[in-house]
A and B are shown apart, each in its own frame.
Chain A
Amino acid sequence: MILFFISACINETVRYRRVDLTGTLSSEDMQSPMYVSAHHAWYDTDLLAHPAAMFDQEIFNPGDFSWTIDIPIPETFTEGLLIYVWQDTDNDEVFCGLNGDEEYSDMAYIDDETLFQINVQLTPQHACLAPEILYANFFE
């Protein structure tokens, strides 16, 4: 009875859509790790609206990859899915860090928000472009 009473008390419901992401991370450098991140293309409204809102990140080796992501479905407005990758060629864990290599990034934009299976082909080729700039330059 007590457990039923307590279980009826829902503070908040958080919702996700689980997507299986597969694809290829291509590079001439097959040794350096790839940092792959998932972003809402747009998040929130009015003054708080901003692009490329990251919600998950994982490290993969170049080549084929498979990743299951839970895309948050917040109360506020969101639009689109971005998969962003950059390759850590100098192994400093920082994208284009000071005194480091010129590193490269790439991005895929998925606007169909009904998919549960997504395949992307990513080839880091844009020098030192962060996800917001990459999205603004190529997808907006």
Chain B
Amino acid sequence: MKFLLFELLNNPADSIGGGGKGTAAHVQVGTAWQGFRLQHGFSDTWGWIVEAQSVSWERWQPSIGLSAIWYEGSVRITGSILGGWLTQSGPYPWNGPSTEGRIQLSKPFGRLRPWLLLGSKHSLGNLRTEIQTQDELLIEDTLQTEWTMTGSMGLAIGIHKEWELSLGIDMPWVNYPNITIPGAHVAIAYRGAP
């Protein structure tokens, strides 16, 4: 019966849908998005988040942040704001501070729980231009910004006691307005009781 914790306890922690009191975590693997999230709700409304996201193992975004439950009823709606760092290798390198705001929504139906995540990520960095002239080396830094919108949806399934399996599709828009290929992921989640 423990897989029904989400429905029986008030404000259970939930890393897939977001928010809740107590500790929850999940690890996600997929193509092309991977990551983990650890969160702890320290009150009925507020909690902190530590997480790291990766895209194809070349783009990494570790972050810490705060989350709050905006609405708790038949549907849970949470909002989160995070700050961290974005580093990317490969042909389009990036190295700079990042922020992210997101809204998560989930609704339980027994063991099943569809969820939706919408987010907006922003990052700053510099393009350095070095021009060697006959007399001197000219150096110019140009501020660059990146805006990535994220959209994921999926279904979490209670599999054993406090563990869930989540299947999701990712429809991000990395470095808008560039088009990004959609992805899919599977996650194993632990949601703790307060």
Contacts and interface: CB of A to CB of B under 8 A. Distances in A.
Contacts of B96: 6, 9, 11
A57 to B, nearest CB: 19
Main secondary structure of the interface of A (DSSP, over half): strand
A18 interface: yes
A58 interface: no
B94 interface: yes
A70 B128 contact: no
Interface of A: 5-7, 9-18, 70, 116-117
B91 to A, nearest CB: 10
Interface residues of B, number: 20
B125 A11 contact: yes
Given A11-B125, A11-B126, A11-B144, A6 B97 contact: yes
A18 B124 contact: no
A9 B133 contact: no
A12 B127 contact: yes
Binding site of B, secondary structure by majority: helix, strand, loop or mixed? strand
B126 A10 contact: yes
Contacts of B128: 10, 12-14
Shortest 6 CB-CB contacts between residues of A and residues of B: A116-B134, A9-B96, A11-B125, A13-B128, A18-B133, A16-B131
Contacts of B133: 18, 116
Interface in B67-111: 93-97
A18 B132 contact: yes
B70 to A, nearest CB: 30
B174 to A, nearest CB: 15
